Chain A
Amino acid sequence: GAVVSQHPSRVICKSGTSVKIECRSLDFQATTMFWYRQFPKQSLMLMATSNEGSKATYEQGVEKDKFLINHASLTLSTLTVTSAHPEDSSFYICSAAGTLYGYTFGSGTRLTVV
């Protein structure tokens, strides 16, 4: 079956630093990658949609200069949280869309900014 590998699973960083999260589709080509953020006891909120080789489309209210998304190949997408602050602490999850497998989620990254 389709697998999306996401790492790191957990990261703690200092306020003001940047953190990169990677998602790789291991056995299929992800034409589209979605990035979600989830705060405790809340739903998954779509942050942005990226298509390979083109700029990401950000949802309303999401700062594109703060959450940099790169989808340079059909198997790799990255989310970089720049100048992280404690309020950015959250659970970040990617989801890859391939024509055959529908949506496949990564295992998530727990980001803690101290």
Chain B
Amino acid sequence: GQSLEQPSEVTAVEGAIVQINCTYQTSGFYGLSWYQQHDGGAPTFLSYNALDGLEETGRFSSFLSRSDSYGYLLLQELQMKDSASYFCAVRESAGGGNKLTFGTGTQLKVEL
């Protein structure tokens, strides 16, 4: 079956850089996405990697290595509002279509 592992919790100070790792085991892999979720809210899309390498979107960057079944989300210039849960999610083939399976999630706490 599929599995996606992330660190459960990360703490960093405002202005710092933090990296959240994701390792996955799945079949029919299409790509790796990252989502942010604040308490009580819906997930918000951050980035998507289908190919190896780094994708940069403002303060957020995401990296994928398909051969290592590994990816990470890099958050720069951390702000208090970045305190949230972050999930990696694999887009994988399923029953003729595809589906999105979420990782275990990482709780990021940004401190002053």
Interface residues of A (CB under 8 A from B): 32, 34, 36, 41-46, 49, 51, 57, 91, 93, 95, 97, 102-103, 105-108, 110
Please measure, in the bound complex, the distance between the C-alpha atom of A91 and the C-alpha atom of B97, giving whole angstroms.
25
Q: Provided the pairs A32-B97, A57-B95 are in contact, do residues A44 and B102 lie with their beta carbons within 8 angstroms?
A: yes
Name the B residues within 8 Å of A36 (CB-CB): 102
Question: Which residue in chain A gives the minimum CB-CB distance to B44?
Answer: A105
Interface SS majority for chain A = strand
Question: Which residue in chain B gives the minimum CB-CB distance to A105?
Answer: B42
Name the B residues within 8 Å of A45 (CB-CB): 102
Name the A residues within 8 Å of B87 (CB-CB): 43-44
- Is B105 an interface residue, CB under 8 A from the partner? yes
Please measure, in the bound complex, the distance between the C-alpha atom of A103 and the C-alpha atom of B45, giving whole angstroms.
9
11 CB-based A-B contacts, threshold 8 Å: A32-B97, A42-B105, A44-B43, A49-B94, A51-B97, A102-B45, A103-B33, A105-B42, A105-B44, A107-B42, A108-B41
What's the A-B contact tally at a CB cutoff of 8 Å? 47
Name the B residues within 8 Å of A32 (CB-CB): 97
Known: A34-B99, A43-B102, A93-B42. 14 other contacts (CB 8 A): A43-B105, A45-B102, A46-B101, A46-B102, A49-B95, A49-B99, A57-B95, A93-B43, A95-B100, A102-B48, A103-B100, A107-B41, A108-B40, A108-B42
What's the least CB distance linking A50 to chain B, in Å? 11
Name the A residues within 8 Å of B99 (CB-CB): 34, 46, 49
**Interface residues contributed by chain B, number (CB under 8 Å):** 21
Please measure, in the bound complex, the distance between the C-alpha atom of A51 and the C-alpha atom of B104, giving whole angstroms.
26
Contact indicator per residue, chain B 14-35, by CB within 8 Å of chain A (1) or not (0): 0000000000000000000100
Question: Which residue in chain B gives the minimum CB-CB distance to A104?
Answer: B45
8 Å CB interface, B20-78 against A:
33, 40-45, 48
